[in-house]
């Protein structure tokens, strides 16, 4: 069905599954946000290069983790809810790493990925650093990367108290350790071709 955007109404994942159009939407706490219709060439290149390096590491080390790219439904239930009509937050991270196969089903991921990467564009800057930061922290995403198209990244690691650290800022000449993939390091200059 065509969804008239009602920013005052709360929706569930069950509602989301009935939307027949191809618009990218992320219901967060039930409220719908309309995402940009497509990403820039640069955004896609950065995503592809980063995904390639993550996948290569997992395959080389015969790892159990899986890497997914957008659009991929990540359902973040509150209070352990599993029924579609009770889940009201669905996001589409640019990339996510999931090591617990029990979280994967035919619809995507149910629960917090181990790692999430958002590649920032001008239209998503505030959303990625505020709303999604809080959302991923509260859901228990262990590692959150915000990659900037001006060849830098912020990396946040979830601490024992359930809060992200202050973050580490990396620039183009630096290598970033991937905490959820032992021994994996990503050189920023390799993903910005």
DSSP string, 66-88: EEEESS--EE--STT--SGGG--
Q: Please, where are the H alpha helices in 131-176?
A: 132-139
CB < 8 Å & 24+ apart, contacts of 132-137: 132/91, 133/164, 135/28, 135/76, 135/89, 135/91, 136/112, 137/162, 137/163, 137/164
Contact between 140 and 112 under an 8 Å Cβ cutoff? The reply is: yes
For the chain, list the domains and their CATH numbers: 38-75+89-191 (3.90.1570.10)
Q: Please, where are the H alpha helices in 35-111?
A: 41-60
pLDDT band at 1 (very low <50, low <70, confident <90, very high): very low
| pTM flag (> 0.75) | yes
Contact between 108 and 74 under an 8 Å Cβ cutoff? The reply is: yes
In this predicted model, what pLDDT tens digit does every residue of 81-139 receive, in sequence order? 888 888 888 999 999 999 999 999 999 999 999 999 999 877 777 777 888 999 999 99
- Give the pLDDT confidence score for residue 6 in this predicted structure: 66
User: Please, what is the average pLDDT of the chain?
Assistant: 86
Taking the C-alpha atoms of residue 76 and residue 29, their distance in angstroms, rounded to an integer, is 9
In this predicted model, what pLDDT tens digit does every residue of 28-47 receive, in sequence order? 666 666 555 567 888 899 99
pLDDT band at 5 (very low <50, low <70, confident <90, very high): low
Q: Please, where are the H alpha helices in 61-169?
A: 125-126, 132-139
- Kindly list the distances between the CA atom of residue 94 and the CA atoms of 36, 78, 173, 183, in Å, as whole numbers in the listed order: 13, 22, 23, 22
- Give the pLDDT confidence score for residue 79 in this predicted structure: 80
């Amino acid at each position: 069905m065509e969804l008239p955007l009602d920013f005052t109404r709360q929706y569930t994942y069950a509602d989301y599954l009935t939307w027949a159009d191809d618009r990218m939407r992320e219901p967060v706490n039930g409220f719908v946000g309309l995402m940009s219709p497509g990403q820039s060439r640069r955004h896609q290149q950065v995503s592809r290069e980063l995904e390639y390096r993550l996948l290569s590491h997992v395959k080389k080390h015969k790892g159990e983790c899986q890497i997914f790219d957008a659009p991929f439904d990540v359902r973040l239930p509150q209070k352990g809810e599993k029924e579609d009509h009770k889940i009201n937050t669905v996001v589409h991270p640019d990339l996510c790493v999931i090591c617990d196969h029990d979280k994967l089903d035919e619809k995507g991921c149910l629960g917090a990925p181990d790692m999430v990467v958002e590649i920032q564009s001008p239209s998503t800057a505030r959303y990625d650093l505020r709303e999604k930061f809080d959302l991923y922290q509260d859901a228990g995403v262990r590692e959150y990367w915000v990659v900037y198209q001006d060849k830098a990244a912020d990396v946040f690691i979830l601490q024992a108290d359930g809060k992200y650290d202050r973050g580490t800022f990396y620039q183009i000449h630096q290598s970033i350790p991937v905490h959820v993939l032992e021994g994996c390091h990503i050189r920023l200059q390799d993903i910005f071709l």
